[in-house]
Structure 1
Amino acid sequence: MPVTNVSHDVEARTLTITAEFAAPITRIWQIYADPRQLEKIWGPPTYPATVVDHEFRPGGRVTYFMTSPEGEKFAGYWIIDSIDEPNGFSFRDGFADDDFTPVESLPVSRNDFTFTERDGHTVATFLSTYDSAEDLQKVLEMGVVEGASGAVNQIDDLVA
């Protein structure tokens, strides 16, 4: 499995997932830069993602929804803050309603995804920071560790 470590720090309001992939850094970068590939790994295996808009540039917006096994749709969005191709990118990720308007009552995470190459493999660090310990606790209770880990673990199949 690609996920090698998951940790959260309530005091720092962070969730960190580390993974290693048997692929070069440029291949991992392509997954996030291409909306059709992103769809294959963004949602957990039982909640596949559909990317609607994909403006993968600083200031750009990515909108998506995940579909539950029962057919329910859960919308979300990214606002891209910075891009350092192929080493990583930063973005805000939030929950949205059906027309992709942010849901103010749910947490927004600030995310730094970094990729480093080591011996032909890519080590990825997915760092999410929340505004409050309560926001972090809320997403932990919603299953973010299991969902995000399941999503990340799909990358190996895609790059195989």
Structure 2
Amino acid sequence: MTVTSTDKDYGALALTLVAHFDAPVHRVWELWSDPRRLERWWGPPSYPATVDRHELVPGGTVTYFMTGPDGAKYHGYWQVLAVDAPRALEFVDGFADADGRPDTSQPAPTCLVSLSEDGGRTRMEIRSRFDTREDMERLLQMGVAEGMAEALGQVDELLAA
């Protein structure tokens, strides 16, 4: 299992997942920067992702959908805030309608991804910051922490290929 810790900090309104991978930072970065690689792990195994648009630059947008076991499509977007390749990425991560427009009725946390070398491995930290405790609790009840851990569990196989 690649996820080494999960921290739910209600005081800071943050969910932080840390994972370690047996690959250099630049290879792990490619899992974010290449839309075909991103869709092979973004989403739990039973909800594979398809990336429609991938503008990984400040001000850019990433749109995608995950297809559930019943065939239903769940759309999402990233509004990219900052990119420091291959070390960091910051984006708003939200739900969207079928046309990629943000669904403002759902929480949209700001995510900060940090990649660093750690003893010959890569340490990835994904920190999601929420606007309110209610937003955080709502997404946690939807299974976001477990879903992200399952998604990250697919990364080792991709890096080995």
TM-score (norm 2): 0.98
The residue correspondences of 1:4-19 to structure 2 (distance < 5 A) are 4-19=4-19
2: CA distance between counterparts of 1:11 and 1:26? 33
1:20-55 CA deviation, whole Å, 9 max, x = no partner? Answer: 000000000011000000001101110000000000
SS in 2 for 1:18: strand
Question: Where do 4+ consecutive residues of structure 1 move more than 4 Å?
Answer: none
Distance between the aligned counterparts of 1:87 and 1:98, measured in 2? 31
Aligned to 1:86: 86
Residue 23 of structure 1 corresponds to: 23
| Alignment: residue pair count | 160
Residue equivalent to 2:115? 115
User: Please, what is the CA RMSD of the aligned residues?
Assistant: 0.6
Specify the code of the residue in structure 2 equivalent to 1:158.
L
- Give the match for residue 50 of structure 2: 50
Structure 2: how far apart are the matches of 1:14 and 1:26? 26
Distance in 2 separating the partners of 1:24 and 1:58: 24
The sequence identity of aligned pairs, in percent, is: 46
Post-superposition Cα deviations, 1:40-99, rounded to whole Å, max 9, x if no partner, equal 110111000000000011110000000000000000000111111111110000000111
* Aligned counterpart, 1:66: 66
Residue aligning to 2:33: 33
- TM value normalised by structure 1: 0.98
CA distance in 2, matches of 1:28, 1:110: 21
User: Which runs of 5 or more structure 2 residues have no equivalent in the other structure?
Assistant: none
Q: Secondary structure at the match of 2:140?
A: helix
What's the offset of the Cα at 1:120?
2.0
Question: How many angstroms apart in 1 are the aligned matches of 2:145 and 2:55?
Answer: 26
How many Å apart are 1:119 and its aligned residue? 2.4
